[in-house]
Chains A and B, each alone.
Chain A
Amino acid sequence: MLKLPIYLDNNATTPMDPRVLDAMIPYFTEKFGNAASRNHQFGWVAEESVDYAREQVAKLIGADEKEIIFTSGATEADNLAIKGVYEMYAQKGNHIITVTTEHKAVLDTCHHLEKQGAQITYLKVNAEGLIDLTELENAITDKTILVAIMYANNEVGVIQDVKKISEICHKKGTLFFTDATQAVGKIPVDVIKDGIDLMAFSAHKMYGPKGVGALYVRRKNPRVKVTAQMDGGGHERGMRSGTLNVPSIVGFGKACEISMTDMESDTARIIKMRDKLEAGLTQLEESYVNGSKEHRLPHVSNISFKYVEGEGLMMGFNKNIALSSGSACTSASLEPSYVLKALGLGDDLAHSSLRFGLGRFTTEDQIDYTIKAISETVTKLRELSPLWEMFKEGIDLDKIEWAHH
């Protein structure tokens, strides 16, 4: 039986896996101890559980458990990595390289440091959403202390060539940080093979609880240090003070363990549904898949339906289907998606985009329903669209002098 509403916004957050919830429950009431309480049973139980979760998290990304710093989420981990490196390596330099399509947690952190005297280079991406590796190499100077490039993009799902990026960074003697929030738990990520020095990720994007994430900080070859951004009791090897969120950390660990065992079968199923969705929706005239189709997360599809505005489009089915749009009207800023614009999409196509994020609990009948509902709405709204009528009459919309507001 098809259950409505359908959730296709798994890049925003994922539902928690019931197995994760089961693992967390005892830690709220029975095993409620503070992991820093060294002198009694309650503390020991909490500490052991955190240690076990740390191993589960580390194992998923091929790290040592001592290299995992628990945080409140990926935003905090991004802040800790970038600000922490900037302060710790101030003697070496003040230059950081990042990319225009990064998440705001990285971009705004860089803007913040710019005000404090940091030099930031923002690399552009091509139409596929990928950076130019030569451009990266040329941008690195002897003052460069950090290259911050996301593993996979949250809006279009494009995966950067992380391995090549890290090779360039290490050849040039700079640290490499990656925000891997969308990638970890979805595709194989290995900090050793990928050559990652610092990495941010989060539990709630992989069927774990909200409010917990981690920063991976490499301990050897090279040993990386970050200056704490939260001072206090010296938790997490002094890099992040604050009482550990034990139930959520336990859940994070469990989510990582499940991701590891289920990744292959999840991916096989999800990619089939994603391709079906894409094939179905691109049957519509003037619909375009945004970003690289080759280097892309298996569960993401970003499609523009030309001559239809995204928010208006979503209104046609958002009682029954939950997803996101790059349209300005859906954001507070009234600007369309800066990620899509960085890929070279005109504002009109950015306004017309929908992001589909499939997940572990997506079913094929949900995909069938979605294809039908969206196709019908696009067709209906095009009948209402003056732009569609002009396009059909062969009028070049670029030649019209629009009255901009």
Chain B
Amino acid sequence: MAYSEKVLDHYSNPKNVGTLDKNSNTVGTGLVGAPECGDVMRLQIEVDPVTQMITDAKFKTFGCGSAIASSSLATEWLKGKTIDQAMNIDNMDIVEELALPPVKIHCSVLAEDAIKSAINDYRAKNGLAPIVDNH
């Protein structure tokens, strides 16, 4: 199977690899997937509590190249967005941007799950109700 140039680039030069302080009230953490399934993504966002703007995003991923690329791309897209804007990121946007083949669509789904899970973790920490996924 051939990978797209964009997947290869994110794999070789992943953006925003790292860890934010998961105990901080301004940080939301999403940990999705399972080792048995061969994919685990951890995506973290740092949120400005006044503007609700995502000021930083980090990830670490255990998985195939497409999973690494999906989460790397997600962190790039998250930075500078408000939480409401971030909720609108759709997995198919990731599929399109990275030209993922059908067997790798689950990687993009996982990335979308990770984004929503990180946002809801942030919301829970700050006494806000979780946003329910309408998908």
Contacts and interface: CB of A to CB of B under 8 A. Distances in A.
Interface of A: 307-312, 315-316, 327-329, 334, 336, 346-348, 351, 383-389, 397, 402-405
B41 interface: yes
B33 interface: yes
Contact of B38 (A309, A383, A384): A309
Nearest to B42: A386
Given A312-B64, A386-B62, A387-B62, A402 B35 contact: yes
A310 B63 CA distance: 8
Nearest to A306: B35
Contact of B60 (A312, A384, A402): A384
A403 B34 CA distance: 6
Interface string B66-79: 01100000000000
B65 A315 contact: yes
A309 B64 contact: yes
B89 interface: no
Contacts of A308: 62
Interface string B22-62: 00000000011111111111100000000000000000111
B121 to A, nearest CB: 13
Contacts of B64: 309, 311-312, 315, 327, 329
A329 B61 CA distance: 15
Contacts of A404: 34, 36-37
7 A-B pairs with least C-beta separation: A402-B34, A347-B36, A348-B35, A386-B42, A311-B64, A386-B60, A315-B65
Contacts of A310: 38
A309 B60 contact: no
B97 to A, nearest CB: 18
Given A309-B63, A312-B65, A312-B67, A405 B34 contact: yes
A386 B35 CA distance: 10
A336 B38 CA distance: 9
A402 B62 contact: no
Interface of B: 3, 11, 14, 17, 19, 31-42, 60-65, 67-68, 103, 106, 110, 113
A140 B112 CA distance: 53
Contact of B65 (A307, A311, A383, A388): A311
B14 A384 contact: yes
B133 to A, nearest CB: 13
B41 A386 contact: yes
Contacts of B37: 328, 347, 402, 404-405
B1 to A, nearest CB: 9
Contacts of A307: 62
Nearest to A389: B60
Contact of A327 (B17, B34, B38): B38
B76 to A, nearest CB: 15
B60 A347 contact: no
A405 B35 CA distance: 11
A388 B60 CA distance: 10
A347 B62 CA distance: 14
A385 B62 contact: yes
Given A309-B39, A312-B67, A405-B106, A386 B34 contact: no
Nearest to B71: A384
A385 B38 contact: no
Nearest to B19: A389
Which of B34, B61, B62 counts the most chain A CB atoms within 10 A?
B62
11 contacts: A308-B62, A309-B62, A311-B38, A311-B65, A315-B65, A347-B35, A384-B17, A384-B60, A384-B61, A386-B42, A402-B40
A386 B30 CA distance: 11
A86 B40 CA distance: 46
Given A384-B62, A384-B68, 8 more contacts: A309-B64, A312-B68, A316-B11, A328-B37, A329-B64, A348-B36, A384-B14, A405-B110
Given A384-B60, A385-B60, A387-B62, A328 B106 contact: no
A383 B17 contact: yes
Which of A347, A351, A384 counts the most chain B CB atoms within 10 A?
A384
Which of B19, B33, B41, B64 counts the most chain A CB atoms within 10 A?
B64
A385 B37 CA distance: 15
B106 A315 contact: no
A89 B122 CA distance: 68
B33 A405 contact: yes
Which of A308, A315, A348, A397 counts the most chain B CB atoms within 10 A?
A315
A308 B38 CA distance: 9
Contacts of A387: 35, 40, 62
A348 B33 CA distance: 12
A404 B67 CA distance: 16
B101 to A, nearest CB: 12
B38 A386 contact: no
B19 A346 contact: no
Contacts of B19: 389
A53 B75 CA distance: 62
